[in-house]
Amino acid sequence: MSEEKIENKSFLFTQRDAVAIISINKPPMNPMSLEFFNELENFVPKLSEDQNVRAIVITAEGEDNFSVGMDLKEITGVVRNMERMREILDQRLRVLSAIENMRKPVIATLFGYCLGGGLELPLSCHFRLAAKEGAKIGLPELDLGTVPAWGGSARLTRCVGRLYSLDMILRAKKISGTEAYRIGLVNEVVPKVELKDRAFELAKELSDMPMTAVSEMLRCIVEYGDQPLEEGLHQERQAVLKTMGTKDNLEGIKAFLRKRKPKFNKS
């Protein structure tokens, strides 16, 4: 297995074969600083364009917490500067939208505190895995006299529905990994000691799937899943036409007929 490591000021980047791993690097609380989002905004387009990366894991250093969200010490100095606050909010919305609309699957790990932006970032990812023990997941901004700022209310409602969103946000609730799984917020609940390994394992599985087909399904489901049925059917038809007759399509058919596992993404 090949591996490459890069250390930025606010996160670590590791590439293991076709899987990229971004790890917030301010343990134990892993707040998301202004610097973190500046670096992430520059990094996400590079990952999106890198053909050697086919799946991404977003996690955090240490074993205590994924993230307590926005670094409040930094924000305190600008809360009265509405122009600066708009710039900060716009940047976060841009970055999370870029992650959500990536044509590569992105997986987030939720453990310890996953609060405010520490949930809003995972909500922009396509898969979420939570620790079975100790996770505290929520959007408790009302405790600070404000509201979710990075698309949390919109994405949470689309994920779990109005009933659970109102309950979590208006009561500033922090729920467990097991509860998050029950309401459909996360895909899996995993013992904490296995969480990061499981995220990589899932990313590796997804990176072995046919890249063009994965990209097209992400486009159809993420971009058009909430559109009228006719638009969804049209986009699916376009995806079929883009994938039929490709090397991966022919490999999949051949492997099926020969009763073997297909080997996709080969030039």
For 211-223, write each residue's pLDDT tens digit: 999 999 999 999 9
- Mean pLDDT, the chain, whole residue set: 95
**Are both 145 and 29 inside the same structural domain?**
yes
CA distances from 181 to 33, 176, 218 (A): 28, 9, 22
pLDDT tens column, 56-67: 999 999 999 999
pLDDT at 267: 64
Q: Are 151 and 77 contained in the same domain?
A: yes
pLDDT in the model for residue 74: 85
In eight-state DSSP terms, residue 246 is: S
Taking only the tens place, the pLDDT of each residue in 148-206 is 999 999 999 999 999 999 999 999 999 999 999 999 999 999 999 999 999 999 999 99
Q: By percentage, how much of the chain surpasses pLDDT 90?
A: 91
pLDDT at res. 188: 98
**Number of domains into which the chain is organized:** 2
Instruction: Give me the CATH number covering residue 162.
Output: 3.90.226.10
Is residue 116 located within the same domain as residue 86? yes
CB 217 within 8 A of CB 102: no
In a domain? residue 264: no
Mind listing the pLDDT tens digit for each residue in 29-65?
Answer: 999 999 999 999 999 999 999 999 999 999 999 999 9
Catalytic residue, from 41, 100, 141, 194: name it.
Answer: 141
- Is there a catalytic annotation at residue 141? yes
Domain that holds residue 245: 211-258
**pTM here?**
0.95
Is residue 242 situated within a structural domain? yes
Predicted pLDDT at 133: 97
Pair (241, 154) in one structural domain: no
Is residue 191 domain-shared with residue 125, that is, in the same domain?
Answer: yes
Q: Do 159 and 184 fall within a single domain? A: yes
C-alpha separations of 38 from 8, 24, 32, 41, 220 in Å: 11, 13, 10, 5, 29
Structure tokens at 110: 């939720």
- Of 72, 257, 111, give the one whose Cα is nearest residue 191: 111
Task: Write the burial class of residue 163 (CB in 10 Å: 0-12 exposed, 13-18 middle, 19+ buried).
Answer: exposed
Q: In this model, does residue 80 exceed pLDDT 90? A: no
Q: How confident is the model at residue 28 (pLDDT cuts 50, 70, 90)?
A: very high
pLDDT surpasses 90 at 115: yes
> Are residues 59 and 88 both part of a single domain?
yes
- What pLDDT is recorded for position 266? 84
| Catalytic residue, candidates 63, 120, 223, 236 | 120
pLDDT tens profile 130-142: 999 999 999 999 9
Active site residue 63: no
Distance from C-alpha of 6 to C-alpha of 22, rounded to nearest angstrom: 10
Phi, psi of 134, deg, nearest 5: 85, 0
Phi, psi (degrees; rounded to nearest 5) at 92: -65, -40
Kindly report the backbone phi and psi dihedral angles of residue 17, in degrees, each rounded to the nearest multiple of 5, phi listed first.
55, -125
